[in-house]
A and B are shown apart, each in its own frame.
Chain A
């Protein structure tokens, strides 16, 4: 576990990506990726929560009683998520309206809880901070790639700007959540072909 910060940050971007390798956080990756705007705001929110929860839980790791370990993690995560939600409502009102319940649902995002349990509980704050950042970026990368595909093919637009001519009919599958499943599946296929890392059957 004596990895340097660079590796801790870079590892979750590809080799250990929370979405495409660990298969965590798929639910929100389906829900908020119809448009680039929402995907970017959601990414920022998740990065903030992950970095915050990892650091705080790591700071407390030697004092948390084993019996209520997960409840304490949950309380910390929930507090951070509500804080981010409140900040969005005050300073990014339009975006918070678009994301609606999905910001609140970061509480149940398996990546946040997963990193708290798997990393922050065993590592010092500095490493935990970078682990949170890396996993947040890994999650964001997939979210933004999926959103780019979906918005481009689904609406012919990127960040709300029409890219393809108005006559482009739009691909209905890309607009709905199953479209994200297809895109994520293709990304996983591509990634495993390139990295030559396969699950043992």
Chain B
């Protein structure tokens, strides 16, 4: 009996040791690759918000075609970190990170992260804005545990394309962007088509997008707007004098 128990304990100890050592080994070897994947994935998501037509699996481009990256956002996956570092400037603000896409020193678009509860899980997202800080340039929803085919549709292109050109800011004040139940009203500038069977996911997305836009608006965009207005003033002044 005594001998049996010692064998049991020995056996359990050996199994645990072998399993934990092999897992630790595997993790150590794979971690750098996983971190890199995670980083590229995150950059892809920021780029998707900045370029609505962004295609991470595009074919390699020639140097002359590089310029068209700006209009089409087509870039092969392995170029993404380089591309990101060259064109996207990450600013830490009071509200969180703000990604500024610029070209030849001129700002082209902004993006900021947003996240909130869907039905089952936290839905992560980036929201891309035009330089007017009012119009949505692109959105991306990712890393969520919503029901595939229902709330999970939020990571599909059709749903995300939906948001392009919609407004979060109209006539000098924030407006509430709505995820409709079913189809959005045609020509509405503040409503997008909903996902059928996923009212709660839609409501969650609506809530966090509007809330986080408002936070960024108060803490970051107000001052950016003031800067933009200041930059415009001298030329207006000249025009009126002339």
Q: Name the one of B12, B27, B148, B149 contacting A86, with C-beta atoms under 8 angstroms.
A: B27
Q: Name the one of A75, A91, A154 contacting B15, with C-beta atoms under 8 angstroms.
A: A75
| Chain A residues whose CB sits within 8 angstroms of the CB of B149 once the complex forms | 34, 154-155, 175-176
The closest CB in chain A to the CB of B152 belongs to A34
Contacts of B16-52 to chain A: CB distance below 8 A = 16, 19, 22-23, 26-27, 30, 33-34, 37-38, 41
Check B182 for interface membership: any CB of A closer than 8 A: no
| Chain B residues whose CB sits within 8 angstroms of the CB of A87 once the complex forms | 26, 30
Question: Could you tell me the distance in whole angstroms from the C-beta of B189 to the nearest C-beta in chain A?
Answer: 25
Question: Could you tell me the distance in whole angstroms from the C-beta of B12 to the nearest C-beta in chain A?
Answer: 6
Q: Name the one of A67, A79, A91, A154 contacting B8, with C-beta atoms under 8 angstroms.
A: A67
The number of chain A residues touching the other chain, given as a range, is 20 to 34
Check B228 for interface membership: any CB of A closer than 8 A: no
A155 to B148, CA, bound (A): 12
Given A72-B12, A90-B30, A93-B41, also A65-B145 (CB < 8 A)? no
Check A101 for interface membership: any CB of B closer than 8 A: yes
Check B104 for interface membership: any CB of A closer than 8 A: no
Given A35-B148, A176-B150, also A93-B37 (CB < 8 A)? yes
Contact A89 B30 (CB under 8 A): yes
A68 to B6, CA, bound (A): 13
The closest CB in chain B to the CB of A98 belongs to B148
Q: Name the one of A63, A75, A89 contacting B16, with C-beta atoms under 8 angstroms.
A: A75
Contact A63 B11 (CB under 8 A): yes
Given A175-B148, A176-B147, also A65-B37 (CB < 8 A)? no
Contact B148 A79 (CB under 8 A): no
Question: Could you tell me the distance in whole angstroms from the C-beta of A100 to the nearest C-beta in chain B?
Answer: 6
| Chain A residues whose CB sits within 8 angstroms of the CB of B41 once the complex forms | 93, 97
Contact A90 B11 (CB under 8 A): no
Contact A65 B23 (CB under 8 A): no
| Chain A residues whose CB sits within 8 angstroms of the CB of B12 once the complex forms | 65, 68, 71-72
The closest CB in chain B to the CB of A71 belongs to B12
Contact A89 B19 (CB under 8 A): no
Q: Name the one of A100, A155, A176 contacting B145, with C-beta atoms under 8 angstroms.
A: A100
A35 to B41, CA, bound (A): 22
Contact B15 A76 (CB under 8 A): yes
A67 to B196, CA, bound (A): 51
Question: Could you tell me the distance in whole angstroms from the C-beta of A44 to the nearest C-beta in chain B?
Answer: 17
Given A89-B37, A91-B33, A155-B149, also A79-B27 (CB < 8 A)? no
| Chain B residues whose CB sits within 8 angstroms of the CB of A63 once the complex forms | 11
Check B232 for interface membership: any CB of A closer than 8 A: no
Question: Could you tell me the distance in whole angstroms from the C-beta of B29 to the nearest C-beta in chain A?
Answer: 9
Contact A90 B37 (CB under 8 A): yes
Check B103 for interface membership: any CB of A closer than 8 A: no
Contacts of A22-40 to chain B: CB distance below 8 A = 34-35, 38
Contact B8 A65 (CB under 8 A): yes
Known contacts A67-B8, A86-B34, A175-B148; 7 further A-B pairs (Cβ under 8 A): A68-B11, A71-B12, A87-B30, A89-B37, A90-B33, A97-B143, A155-B149
Q: B interface vs A, CB < 8 Å?
A: 4, 7-8, 11-12, 15-16, 19, 22-23, 26-27, 30, 33-34, 37-38, 41, 142-143, 145, 147-150, 196-197
Q: Can you give 15 contacting A-B residue pairs, CB < 8 Å? A: A34-B149, A64-B11, A68-B12, A71-B12, A72-B15, A79-B22, A83-B23, A86-B30, A89-B34, A90-B34, A90-B37, A93-B38, A97-B41, A154-B149, A176-B149
